[in-house]
Amino acid sequence: MPATPTPPPTTTPQTRIRPARVTMQDVARAAQVSQTTVSFVLNDRAQASIPQETRDRIWQAVTTLGYRPNAMARALRQGTSNLIGFVTDEIATTPFAGQIVRGAQDVAWQHRRILMMINTDHQSDLEQEALGALLQHQVDGIILAAMAHKAVTLPPLLEGFPVVLVNAYSEDDRVPAVVPDERRGGLEATAHLLARGHRHIGVVDNLDASMAATLRIDGHLQALTDAGITPDPTLIARVNGWQEAGFDGAMQLLRRPDRPTALFCLNDRGAMGAYEAARELGLHIPEDLSIIGFDNQEVIAAHLRPTLTTMQLPHHEMGRRGTLALLGTEPLPRGRTLLHCPLVERASVARPTAPRR
C-alpha cells in the first residue's frame, strides 16, 4: 500500500444510484405474510418450518421492492455483527488459501456468518491496519491464517479478543491453533514406502529447513527407526526451491551407486522435479523408482504421469475446525491441535524391483 493512500471519492456515478427506503412491513404486505415471517426468512431462522413457496414469495417481494434490511442497525442492537474476520498472509499464489477460506466459509455460512477477508501479503504494518479495521467493524472473532505452517506473534491489538490461528500457532500457545500433523505425515509417508518393501529411501528436502520440512523429516526418521533401519543422513538431499530444486535433489540421490528405490519428496512441486530427474536417467516410475510427495496440490499430484501418491495437507479441514472453534461450536483448547494429513494413494509407488543397469 502506498504511503499516502488516495482518499475515497465522496460520491461516484454508481454509488449515487440508491434504492428508495422500503420497510419490512412493505415486504410483508406484498408477500401477504406477517412481518415476523419476513424477518424469519431474511434472518434465515427456523427456515425449515417455512414452506419454500412462501420463502420464494418473500424474496420475490424483497427483489421487486428493492428492500434493504439494515444489518448494521441490527448488529448495534444485538451487539453482534455476525461477521468473522479472516486475515491471511498470502492468497494469490497457491490454491491452499482458497481451501482454507472455503473450509472457514462452509462453517460460517451454516452459522449465518460472513467472512470479512483481508490479505496482508506478509506486511506486518498492513496486518496492524487490517486488524484495526476488522475490530472497528465489530467482527465477532478473527481467524489468522498462514499459508506456510509457522509460529506467529499474536498482535497486541488482539489481546483478549476471540482469535483462532490456522496453519500457524503462537510460541506461548496462548490461543487455540489448528495445524497439520506434519511429523505424523512424514512418518506415514515413509511407513507407506516401507510397507511396499522399500528399505533404501531417499528424501528430497526442497523446503529449506522450514517448520514443515523439519517435522516431516522427524517423522521420516522415526518411521525408519521403528522399522529397525539406521537412518543414513546422506540419503537426505537438501536443496531449496520448487520443481528445479526437486530435480537437483533427486539427481544427487539417483546418481548414487547405491541408488534409492524410493524417494520421499517433501512437497509435490519437488516431486514433479523428481519425475523429470527420473526421466533424464531413464528410470520408470513406479517400476524403477517409487516417489511419494506431500501437500496433494491437485493441479500437480492428480495429473502427473503417473499420478502422484502423496499426503494431503488438511487446508479445508483447518479452515473448518478453526471457524467451528471461533464460533464456540467445537471449542479448541489453547495451543496447537494437530490435524491428520491422510495418505492419498495414486500410481507412483510400487514394490522395488532389481534396478536396471
* Residue placing its CB nearer to a second copy in the complex, 111 or 196: 111
x/- track of binding to a second copy for residues 179-218 (CB under 8 A):
----------------------------------------
Question: Among residues 14, 5, 154, 148, which one has the least CA distance to residue 88?
Answer: 148
Cell numbers given for 321: 475446525
* Residue placing its CB nearer to a second copy in the complex, 191 or 344: 344
* Residue placing its CB nearer to a second copy in the complex, 109 or 234: 109
Contacts of 5 (CB under 8 A, 6+ apart): none
Q: How far apart are CA 274 and CA 7, in angstroms?
A: 50
Interface pick for a second copy out of 53, 136, 257, 357 (rule CB under 8 A): 136
Residue 316: CB atoms within 10 Å:
18
Chain positions 285 to 304 lying near a second copy, rule: CB under 8 A, are 297-300, 303-304
x/- track of binding to a second copy for residues 306-325 (CB under 8 A):
----------x--------x
| Residue 26 binding a second copy, by CB under 8 A | no
Helix (H) or strand (E) holding 271: helix 268-280
Q: How far is the CB of 314 from a second copy (least distance, A)?
A: 13
* Residue placing its CB nearer to a second copy in the complex, 61 or 235: 61
Cell numbers given for 166: 490456522
* Residue placing its CB nearer to a second copy in the complex, 116 or 281: 116
| Residue 137 binding a second copy, by CB under 8 A | yes
| Residue 173 binding a second copy, by CB under 8 A | no
Contacts of 164 (CB under 8 A, 6+ apart): 141, 142, 143, 144, 175, 176, 177, 178, 322, 323, 325, 326, 332
| Residue 89 binding a second copy, by CB under 8 A | no
Burial 159-198 (b: 16+ CB within 10 A, else e): eebbbbbbbbbbeeeebbbbbbbbbbbbbbbbbbbbebeb
User: Which range touches a second copy (CB under 8 A), out of 4-12, 195-203, 215-223, 226-234?
Assistant: 4-12
| Residue 347 binding a second copy, by CB under 8 A | no
User: Which range touches a second copy (CB under 8 A), out of 119-127, 189-197, 210-218, 225-233?
Assistant: 119-127
Interface pick for a second copy out of 53, 93, 153, 282 (rule CB under 8 A): 93
Q: How far apart are CA 234 and CA 218, in angstroms?
A: 15
Interface pick for a second copy out of 269, 320, 321, 336 (rule CB under 8 A): 269
Interface pick for a second copy out of 25, 32, 36, 45 (rule CB under 8 A): 45
**Is the dihedral angle over the CA atoms 106, 148, 130, 1 positive or is it negative?**
negative
| Residue 21 binding a second copy, by CB under 8 A | no
| Residue 59 binding a second copy, by CB under 8 A | yes
Contacts of 85 (CB under 8 A, 6+ apart): 115, 116, 118, 131, 134, 135, 137, 139, 141, 142, 143
Contacts 24+ apart (CB under 8 A), 62-66: 62/27, 64/30, 65/22, 65/26, 65/27, 65/30, 66/19, 66/20, 66/22
Task: Beginning with the edge strand found earlier in the chain, give each strand of the sheet holding 236-238 in spatial order.
Answer: 236-238, 201-205, 262-265, 290-292
* Residue placing its CB nearer to a second copy in the complex, 86 or 294: 86
Interface pick for a second copy out of 30, 118, 193, 341 (rule CB under 8 A): 118
| Residue 329 binding a second copy, by CB under 8 A | yes
| Residue 232 binding a second copy, by CB under 8 A | no
| Residue 51 binding a second copy, by CB under 8 A | no
* Residue placing its CB nearer to a second copy in the complex, 3 or 354: 3
Considering just the CA atoms, what is the radius of gyration of the chain in Å? 26
Q: How far apart are CA 171 and CA 336, in angstroms?
A: 10
| Residue 65 binding a second copy, by CB under 8 A | no
| Residue 282 binding a second copy, by CB under 8 A | no
Count of residues that interact with a second copy, criterion CB under 8 A: 103
User: How far from the centroid of its chain's Cα atoms is residue 24's Cα?
Assistant: 39
